[in-house]
Structure 1
């Protein structure tokens, strides 16, 4: 069994805080990978980090046949430096958590959709590690307004502070969001991907976007933002997205246009007040835990 990804990332953050102080962001993942891997595994650590531009490739961690050295390779053409930084953190997570389990870590579409696969479970753990390494929760919480509320400007501030993508910052925020919250990615009028926080999931507010095609409601802000290319925020009715919600249930809808040359999309944040919880099935929980690895943004 691998070590807990949050605990391992927090251990590194503690060391970085002592060495560089609270304003040490964004994390220099390449330097951390070289130094920390040697500290915890002096007989076999990361010596090389190489950019390899290749279509369909994000990153990998690979050991020499005799395991004397390890290498991280990543695609520098993923659309943003934030995405590349997350990929580096993800591969470092594999080294810290899983290096004794295998000596090559690569992603395949088949493994990502197979929840029973040990590979997919390791991918989720590596994503969690990268998220906590790049955006420690205590520092992230300190960037937010009282009540842990989020708006477009705060999201951009967190994105820039940690050197990550807007999507990564939004997914970190929903861990502490005070309301039922769903983060979605939209392109060509359909959901590409969705993640619900625990509060939303327990009230059955989620989208199985990886299993079926889901159209964006035409009256939603996200649909309008995709048409005009402008970000914004407004309050509307939750039933636009979730028909089973009460007629008077309000929803705050935030749309952020991501102008990524490699993969433009609209990031949406849907927020609702609390409601009566209904426990979900295990398959619904699996959908909410779908890892970031393999996503283009």
Structure 2
């Protein structure tokens, strides 16, 4: 099954047992209980802390082949990131365990030259996103509302994920062309376009070149604010291919943590006429740079 379909299948089980009041998903219990019910001959028996900074999460099969263990770097200081990592490894278990016996997942996995590794990491991320933030429920939360930090915080709190993960999910559902970026010291650290934006050429290849934030962008001077900041800028300042008369809307949120800080930016461009996508296309949204769900 596709990552989206598998996540929907699990969500239906959780809904049948817990009802609508099932958020945030108790992902630790779900992983243990569901794997035992679905695959009793090779369940996930435990989720253990592994104090190694070289990876965020791992999934390993026992030497006897009768169980699996999830290893988790619990030094991560974001609970949302930990939850996403557990769901990511559960995705590997459901989707990929027939391919290999060990999965060691780091930020760099999405950017390896091995296309097979890159593909399964993207699938595990898609599964985790749809498990923790089901499409239908997320759509209800944002229906008819303009993007704001309050809206993203509501979604982040409801699903127990980071503000960044909530923004990346909003990018998938929002109409039009949307790019989510992270900026540090005047340059893009990573970017993520939805499919509508990508197909129109609105994306940043941050893995291939250093991309400077435009001088007039509010991301350059974003300050920590409970409401974030919103403004408009000529789209061609960001994307040379855009028409000079086209403006894009910028939303900037300062993300701070113990060992990291960056400005999360959401760039909203006008949609192009006569451009349609089906739901499956949204799963193909390109990821550029070392995306963090913190």
Superposed pair shares fold, TM > 0.5: yes
- Residue in 2 that maps onto 1:153: 150
Q: CA deviation at 1:288?
A: 5.0
Structural mapping, 1:61-210, within 5 Å: 61-107=59-105, 111-114=109-112, 116-146=114-144, 149-210=146-207
Per the normalisation by structure 1, the TM-score is 0.89
**Is 2:25 the counterpart of 1:30?**
no
Counterpart secondary structure, 2:89: helix
- Residue in 2 that maps onto 1:43: 41
Counterpart secondary structure, 2:202: coil
- Contact kept, 8 Å, 1:111 with 1:117, in 2: the verdict is no
Q: Distance in 2 between matches of 1:270 and 1:143?
A: 20
Return 5+ residue gaps in structure 2 as ranges: 276-281
Post-superposition Cα deviations, 1:66-104, rounded to whole Å, max 9, x if no partner, equal 211111011122231000000000000011111111111
Q: Distance in 2 between matches of 1:252 and 1:289?
A: 21
CA spacing shift, 1:291–1:86, aligned 2, 3 Å:
farther
1:18 to 7, 16, 19: 16
- Residue in 2 that maps onto 1:229: 224
Q: Distance in 2 between matches of 1:153 and 1:80?
A: 19
Counterpart secondary structure, 1:12: helix
- Name the stretch that deviates more: 46-55 or 126-135: 46-55
- Contact kept, 8 Å, 2:61 with 2:68, in 1: the verdict is yes
Q: Distance in 2 between matches of 1:36 and 1:110?
A: 29
2:268 to 260, 267, 271: 271
- Name the stretch that deviates more: 163-172 or 238-247: 238-247
Q: Distance in 2 between matches of 1:152 and 1:109?
A: 26
Q: Distance in 1 between matches of 2:107 and 2:19?
A: 40
Return 5+ residue gaps in structure 1 as ranges: 279-284
Q: CA deviation at 1:111?
A: 4.7
Q: How many residues align structurally?
A: 285
Q: CA deviation at 1:184?
A: 0.3
CA spacing shift, 1:211–1:293, aligned 2, 3 Å:
closer
- Contact kept, 8 Å, 1:203 with 1:276, in 2: the verdict is no
- Residue in 2 that maps onto 1:58: 56
CA spacing shift, 1:89–1:44, aligned 2, 3 Å:
same
- Contact kept, 8 Å, 1:6 with 1:132, in 2: the verdict is yes
Q: CA deviation at 1:124?
A: 0.7
Q: Distance in 2 between matches of 1:219 and 1:291?
A: 23
